[in-house]
Chain A
Amino acid sequence: MPAATASQTIGPYWHLLEDPSWADLTRFGAEGERIELTGIVTDGDGLAFPDACIEIWQSSPDMSDRFPGFGRSGTDRDGRFRFVTLKPAPVPGRGNARQAPHIAIWVLARGLMRGLATRAYFAGEKLNETDPLLASIEDKARRDTLIAHPEGQGVWRLDIRLQGEGETVFLDV
């Protein structure tokens, strides 16, 4: 049996697909604690760039006709992505573990031959202290690259640094 098809870069013109409404995961009438998840994507020179495709997936709350669990946001001229979604709850980990509330993130862009997986956790969650993934990242500064911080009412900010100082922890998914 052949191996999975090779990945290729999404390139700079994926916006042909873009429907900005996809960045709002509450657009089908989902009810719950609405939050905004936003941040700036920067490269190894610290420059923000406008052609990234950021996607999110959350397994909590449960996917339904009203809540797709998935969102896609381009980055704007300032390199900023922005999602409106519902705050996730804890979900099971492997074994008897519980995972702290989190949102999976997939970063696609020109210059990336494969998508980069990472996660957004939420500062102040008690379960962050025992979350298996966070606990497996020994360096606190590295671990902190996965933790979104509040930036106003219901707004959570997580910047994504692709390379160099403060480089985001990307996951081998």
Chain B
Amino acid sequence: MPDPVPFRPAVAGTQPPLDLPTYLGTRRRRPNLPPHPMPHTVTETTGPVFTAERFAPMADMTRQGKEGAMGERIVVAGRVTDEDGRAVPHTMVEIWQANAAGRYDHAADQHDAPIDPNFHGAGRVFTDEDGRYSVLTIRPGAYPWPNGPNSWRATHIHFSLFGPAFATRLVTQMFFPGDPLLALDPIFLGVPDARARDRLIAGFDPEIAVPDWALGYRFDIVLRGRGATPVEN
């Protein structure tokens, strides 16, 4: 059996370091030692398969209660590709976020902002044949967090993707254009390369909007691509 084709290493500067002193939560959790190098094997080049039949999509996060969720309705849509620009079809995209007031529907969130009984804040969609996904939600609010005096997270939506392999797993956050908190958010700013960082900011996109109903934001996601096929000995 030929060796599996490995996935490419990260392009320098495009991924955040684990040691990020401006984000206090990293201090006692990031490893002290560098990761141990290893070639990819079948364990890393294969991965789970999730199907819409088994894991029911939740593409409308505004209609999970008795009434519609409070807030500004938005469609977030985009395309998932690999680093070669190839579509990543039929992959699961998990989404979670705070409500319009900046409060998560979660016991650990003690921010003094109202819970919306009609908004839970979790979604799940699958990309189509061309790698495209779309979800209807509300624009989340900003919220303070314990990272020094009067720290606020930039407004964001969490994303989780799997792609074709264990090695392509990605958990990230989508931000909003024009948010003044972006310049102050150490998690966002933790990505060293400015272009890579800016790709975490969704584009305001009237083409995605639903007229007279919801604004649209485009958030394209790139998963790791395969390296060159190794030369067989």
Contact = CB atoms under 8 A, between A and B. Distances in A.
Nearest to B46: A59
A87 interface: no
Interface stretch (A78-86, A93-101, A149-157): A93-101
Main secondary structure of the interface of B (DSSP, over half): loop
Interface in A12-38: 12-17
Contact of B3 (A5, A8, A11, A95): A95
B26 A5 contact: no
Interface centre among B18, B188, B225 (most CB of A within 10 A): B18
B187 A8 contact: yes
A5 B29 contact: no
Interface in A112-166: 112-117, 119, 133, 136-137, 162-164
B152 interface: no
Contacts of A169: 33, 36
A13 B30 contact: no
B108 interface: yes
Interface string A66-83: 001110000000000000
8 contacts: A4-B11, A7-B172, A16-B106, A17-B94, A70-B48, A99-B43, A163-B32, A170-B33
Interface of B: 1, 3, 10-11, 14-18, 20, 23, 25-44, 46-49, 83-85, 94, 96, 98, 104-106, 108-109, 120-122, 124, 156, 158, 160, 166-167, 169-173, 187-188, 190-191, 195-197, 199-200, 221-225
